[in-house]
């Protein structure tokens, strides 16, 4: 964390956030097109939002410093990551979380975000206390009890631990559900190009995916469930 980033937190003001259907945060209103203009501006994440984004196939953690809309209505962001600025399109953002109102909490969350982005799948399982067996339970619950057969990071935490997940818990659950192991049971669901939820696969599809997965990972816990 550079002094520049720390100063950004110290002088950050509170932002208004509104939760979307899948727990990501967007500006609380839709920007309407100007009268006589056929282009409607895309909803954008507010200034101050913490984001995971992809730039030239590399994954970064950063903070949105400014937002602009192009002539076609698409949103673009100026993002600070480790003191370096990146100009990215909205589609480059893979995950977002709101920045806390107080500088101390904001700095702590940002550091946790950076750490969570770096840790391995196994470490995520340990930190979330979600074993392969519990992931199987979540899949069974989605297949049998949920009409949509969908799981979100929020619902995974609540199902297994019976409490609302923190911002970092939701991020780690999102990462876990995107892992190769989780893809045995779930497939990604996207909204505006971002993975926001996960649909439980049919039992036959799971068996086929599990057989393929375990051909090269025979020591994985999932191969013994």
- Digit-coded pLDDT (tens) for 79-116: 999 999 999 999 999 999 999 999 999 999 999 999 99
Answer yes or no: is pLDDT of 197 > 90: yes
Query: Do 33 and 14 contact (CB within 8 A), yes or no?
Result: no
Of 186, 163, 201, 192, the residue nearest 22 (C-alpha) = 192
Q: For domain 119-224, is the CATH number 1.20.120?
A: no
Answer yes or no: is pLDDT of 38 > 90: no
How large is the C-alpha radius of gyration of the chain? 19
* Other beta carbons less than 10 A from residue 49's beta carbon: 24
Domain boundary assignment for the chain:
3-117, 119-224
In tens, the pLDDT along 23-37 reads 444 433 333 344 445
Answer yes or no: is pLDDT of 11 > 80: no
How many angstroms separate the CA atoms of 77 and 55, rounded? 12
Residue 38: φ, ψ to 5°: -85, -10
Per-residue pLDDT band at 22 (split at 50, 70, 90)? very low
CATH numeric code, 3-117: 2.30.30.30
How many angstroms separate the CA atoms of 119 and 218, rounded? 22
pTM given for the model: 0.82
Token representation of residue 141:
């619950």
pLDDT of residue 41: 75
In tens, the pLDDT along 45-85 reads 999 999 999 999 999 999 999 999 888 888 999 999 999 99
How many angstroms separate the CA atoms of 33 and 29, rounded? 13
* E-only strand ranges, 14-169: 18-19, 25-26, 50-55, 58-69, 75-81, 84-89, 93-97, 150-151
Sheet holding 84-89, edge to edge: 84-89, 75-81, 58-69, 50-55, 93-97
């Amino acid at each position: 964390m550079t002094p520049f980033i720390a100063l950004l937190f110290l002088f950050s003001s509170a932002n208004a956030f509104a939760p979307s259907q899948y727990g990501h945060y967007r500006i609380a209103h839709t920007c309407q097109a100007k009268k006589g203009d056929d282009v409607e501006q895309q909803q954008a994440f507010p200034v101050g939002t913490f984001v995971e984004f992809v730039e030239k196939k590399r994954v970064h953690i950063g903070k949105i410093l400014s937002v602009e809309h192009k002539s076609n209505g698409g949103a673009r962001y100026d993002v600070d990551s480790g003191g370096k600025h990146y100009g990215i399109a909205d589609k480059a953002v893979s995950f977002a979380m709101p920045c806390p109102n107080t500088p101390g909490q904001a700095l702590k969350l940002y550091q946790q975000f950076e750490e969570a982005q770096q840790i391995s799948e196994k470490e995520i399982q340990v930190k979330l206390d979600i074993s392969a067996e519990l992931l199987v339970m979540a899949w069974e619950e989605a297949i049998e009890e949920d009409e949509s057969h969908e799981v979100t990071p929020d619902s995974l935490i609540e199902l297994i631990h019976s409490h609302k997940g923190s911002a970092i818990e939701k991020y780690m659950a999102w990462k876990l559900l995107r892992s190769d192991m989780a893809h045995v049971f779930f497939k990604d669901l996207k909204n505006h190009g971002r993975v926001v939820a996960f649909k439980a696969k049919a039992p036959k599809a799971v068996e086929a995916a599990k057989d393929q997965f375990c051909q090269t990972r025979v020591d994985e816990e999932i191969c013994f469930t």
